Amino acid sequence: MKLLTTKDIAELLRVKPITVQRMCASGELPALKLGKSYRIDENEFYFWLNKKRKEPTARRLPSLTNKQKGGTQ
């Protein structure tokens, strides 16, 4: 098992380390807390990443009612 730091993950995701720390703290990203820092299992990270890729990226917008479209009711 290889453990990655928040800095390692930040470089892979091209975000700031504080963003990864927040993701770990919120439970969004699976991590182990060691003292004041987090470590992420490399295999779990790639599993999480692949799962995120498969999630739909855009939410469906609610359909407009006739009134919103400018129609009459």
Q: Write out pLDDT tens, residues 30-43.
A: 999 999 999 999 99
* Tokens standing for residue 60: 């469906």
Range of the domain at 25: 3-53
Q: Is residue 69 part of a domain?
A: no
Q: Which 8-state DSSP code applies to residue 11? A: H
Q: Is residue 21 part of a domain?
A: yes
Domains of the chain: total: 1
Whether pLDDT at 21 is above 90: yes
The pLDDT confidence band at residue 56, using thresholds 50, 70 and 90, is: confident
Name beta bridge partners: 38: 33
The pLDDT confidence band at residue 72, using thresholds 50, 70 and 90, is: low
Q: Is residue 64 part of a domain?
A: no
Helix H or strand E segment including 68: helix 66-69
Q: Is residue 61 part of a domain?
A: no
Q: Is residue 12 part of a domain?
A: yes
Q: Is residue 60 part of a domain?
A: no
Output the average pLDDT for the chain: 86
Verdict on whether the full-model pTM lies above 0.85? no
**For residue 12, how many other CB atoms are within 10 A of its CB?**
13
